[in-house]
Amino acid sequence: MEKLLEQIKKGTVWAFPGGVHPPQQKSLSNSARIARLPLPDKLVVPIKQHIGANGKLIVEKGQHVLKGQPLTAPAANWSVPVHAPSSGSIVDISSMPSAHPSALPELSIIIEPDGKDTWCDLNPTLNPSELSHDDLVDIIHQAGISGMGGAGFPTYVKADIKQPIEFLIVNAVECEPYITADDVLMREHATQVVQGIELMQQILNPTLCIVGIEDNKPEAIAAMTKAAEHNANIVIQTVPTVYPSGGEKQLIKLLTNREVPSGGIPADIGILVHNTGTLFAVQQAVYEGKPLIERVVTVTGNTIHNAGNVWALLGTEVKHLLDCQGFSPVPQQRVVMGGPMMGFTLPTVRIGVIKTTNCILAPDHKELAEPGPEKACIRCSACADACPASLLPQQLQWFAKSKEYDKLQEHNLFDCIECGACAYVCPSEIPLVQYYRVAKVEIKEQQADKIKADRAKERFDARKERLEREQQERQNRHKRKPAAKTPDEKQKVADALARVKNKSSDGDEKSAVAAAIARAKAKKQQGEELEPDNSEVTKERAQRKEQARKYKEQKAAQSESSSAPDDKKSAVAAAIARAKAKKAAQTQQSDEPQNTEDATPADDKKAAVAAAIARAKAKKAAQAQQSDEPQSTEDAAPADDKKAAVAAAIARAKAKKAAQAQQSDEPQSTEDATPADDKKAAVAAAIARAKAKKAAQAQESDEPQSTENAAPADDKKAAVAAAIARAKAKKAAKEAEQIEQLDESSSAEEQADNAKSESSEADSPEDNKKAAIAAAIARAKAKKAAKEAEQTQNVESTEQSTKKDVKADTQSEGEQTAAEKKKAAVAAAIARAKAKKLQKEGNNQS
């Protein structure tokens, strides 16, 4: 440490890597003294002019303020206030363009000066050495001082640092071309600058203070050396002119030969750096009580006639500075805030001066030419040689273009000070610094989003735990707790326990089962019956059976009395049945029956059964139609109940089997039909099956022995015989319908008279029921015969050899066809008349 101090005091300077030597152009503005400008027409004061949080507004629109009066108050960490640069009225508080390359709007206070420039009450300090550390820090904080040569870091934060400081470095290098604000300030106000240095020494108590000044500022070096003669702990050090020697890390390397670690700050190695203008503002705040409301700004460039340095009030528009210094713009004029290396072009000159504004440059086209189009990198490595931070600018640019932010951080992007040396030496005119700035912003946004997401997750987890805890508490709170026992209940429990103990002590350990057995034995000894007496239960069960039997008989009698519908309903039902049968016949006639001829023969057994059933039904229908006199049903004695039930079951089974056989024949004849015919045929088949079931139920009283004795014939003969029978039945049904239409009235009257004479002989309800059943059977058989005949039309065209074999059978049936037609029609009419008459008589009797 002593060796390092000796080297520093001897004037030893160490070199840093990289650096460039652009034209200085400082003689344009350092030859004249700092000028005072007239008050502008308005002042636009942004409430944030530093790194950190915004201050809290303490003024409002329309309020009159004095020069130096606070406009905001510190509201958070790293927050410093802003003050009124002059006395006047606040005309507006709104968003205005900011001093930034994007010119994004920022909340600003617009003051209209009154021209009096009246100060507020000031509190100067005559003897600062008597002030404590906290007092000095508070004065600096309330004065609104922030770094005036870099990013605008709040000065009070640096002053209140808790780490020990070995070296206090004053950055008076001012290495960027054109800028001479610090140079002229040190020339004219060296004493005040040294007083500011001594105040920081009082606050930080460093081992040594080093003031670094470039060797191109001899007048400033002389002025500072003279002002610091009385203080042995202040060393004025001259450094070579090279850009960017004014960078914080580069200056530390030049003066102390120490390097700030990547991602660290100078305080980590015991060093603190302040700008010349910042130290002058500290001196003004402590000795004069003045807040930071103005600063020295260099106004220069070939388009400025009176280039020089001016005292600019914070919030003064750039246009006012240019006009006061004789601005003569050229076509496509550029105005740069800052120097040519690190400055940025302003989108408008209506932007106000802020605390970090040290230069306004208005060059012409020769002085600062427009950059050409970006070309491909030729990998000359000039950017890497010029980088003062020993980075790889070419590699960083590739990562920035591809947005590989992880690799950018691995290659220490944030060590870049954005000095522009790489872009200055690039032969391809690649704007490297612009890539780095954009990438830094995006990385910071990602990090901020990640922090927000992590905080949100923490809040969510905390909320979830809280809700679960509250739910558990509610559940525990609502759990039923056992009620406190009263003294009486407690006494009862105690008595019961005592009795149990007494019993156990006496040896009486009988269980509940033993006690029950004992009680049963006692009852037996008393003569009580142990076996249950079920006589009463048996009587009640017999009574319930008798009641159920009576109820069934009564219900059957009611169903018999109500089975005969009234005349009108019977007539309507008969008409509907005839219409449905006619419609089904018409639908089935439209189908092409030739398919039956081409169809392949079905299973032998099924065909034989179907033929037998068809022949039996045809014979049965003929026998029913031949009987003109219906007295047979009246005179017939009732058969045995068991036989009738068996016969009914056999009839239902055969009817179902016949329906299945008919279903197997239907698809073969309807394959070539149209979709409409398919649908009609399906409906007709369903109706036929339903009516077949209904006819089978009505035929429960008939004897089905006819089908039992029928022996199956040969397969082909049986099929032909069934087809012929169905065709003949169809013809009989058609002729019966024609006879009904022609002779309906006459035949109905005659048959009604006959029915009256015949029904007069039958007075019992059983005869009425039999007559109704006979009529229903006749109608069902006629409809069923018609449907079967329609479905099997044109089947008669089978092989001639088969016809010869069954010709003998078919001749006898053909002779009976005419008689069967008339008999069927007459029988149907007689049955309908008898049914009507029986219904009338039943209604009259009821």
The annotated binding site for [4Fe-4S] cluster is made up of 377, 380, 383, 387, 416, 419, 422, 426
- Residue 243: exposure state from Cβ atoms within 10 A (0-12, 13-18, ≥19): buried
SS3 call for 302 = coil
> For the chain, how far is it from start to end, CA to CA, in angstroms?
137
User: Encoding tokens for residue 813?
Assistant: 């049936």
Task: Report the binding-site residues.
Answer: 377, 380, 383, 387, 416, 419, 422, 426
User: Encoding tokens for residue 206?
Assistant: 């460093």
User: Encoding tokens for residue 506?
Assistant: 């006496």
Residue 651's CB: how many other CB atoms inside 10 A?
21
315 contacts 88 by C-beta, under 8 angstroms? no
Question: Whose CA is closest to 203, among 252, 169, 161?
Answer: 161
306 contacts 159 by C-beta, under 8 angstroms? no
184 contacts 216 by C-beta, under 8 angstroms? no
Peptide bond into 244 cis (omega under 30): yes
SS3 call for 387 = coil
Q: Specify the DSSP element, H or E, that contains 190.
A: helix 190-204
Question: Whose CA is closest to 184, among 209, 213, 155, 151?
Answer: 213
Question: Whose CA is closest to 769, among 573, 648, 569, 633?
Answer: 633
- Got the DSSP string for 252-303? HHHHH---PPTT--GGGGTEEEEEHHHHHHHHIIIII---S-EEEEEEESTT
Cα–Cα distance between 591 and 397 in angstroms, integer? 87
HSE (CB half, 13 Å, CA atoms) of 728?
26
Question: Whose CA is closest to 108, among 194, 45, 48?
Answer: 45
Cα–Cα distance between 313 and 84 in angstroms, integer? 9
- Got the DSSP string for 461-484? HHHHHHHHHHHHHHHHHHSPPPPP
Cα–Cα distance between 790 and 589 in angstroms, integer? 6
User: Encoding tokens for residue 241?
Assistant: 């002119």
Dihedral angle over CA of 518, 519, 521, 524, nearest 10: 180
Cα–Cα distance between 783 and 361 in angstroms, integer? 116
SS3 call for 6 = helix
Cα–Cα distance between 476 and 471 in angstroms, integer? 9
| CA geometry: angle 262, 21, 434, nearest 5 deg | 55
Cα–Cα distance between 241 and 45 in angstroms, integer? 35
Cα–Cα distance between 784 and 699 in angstroms, integer? 13
77 contacts 52 by C-beta, under 8 angstroms? yes
Question: Whose CA is closest to 382, among 374, 394, 373?
Answer: 394
User: Encoding tokens for residue 633?
Assistant: 């049903």
| Residues 6+ positions from 439 with CB-CB distance below 8 Å | 396, 399, 400, 403, 405, 408, 413
SS3 call for 223 = helix
| Residues 6+ positions from 241 with CB-CB distance below 8 Å | 21, 24, 175, 214, 215, 216
Residue type, 720: V
193 contacts 171 by C-beta, under 8 angstroms? no
Rg of the chain over Cα atoms, rounded to whole angstroms, equals: 62
Using the structure block, give the residue that is written with the tokens 């101090």. 5
Q: What residues does 327 pair with on adjacent strands?
A: 304
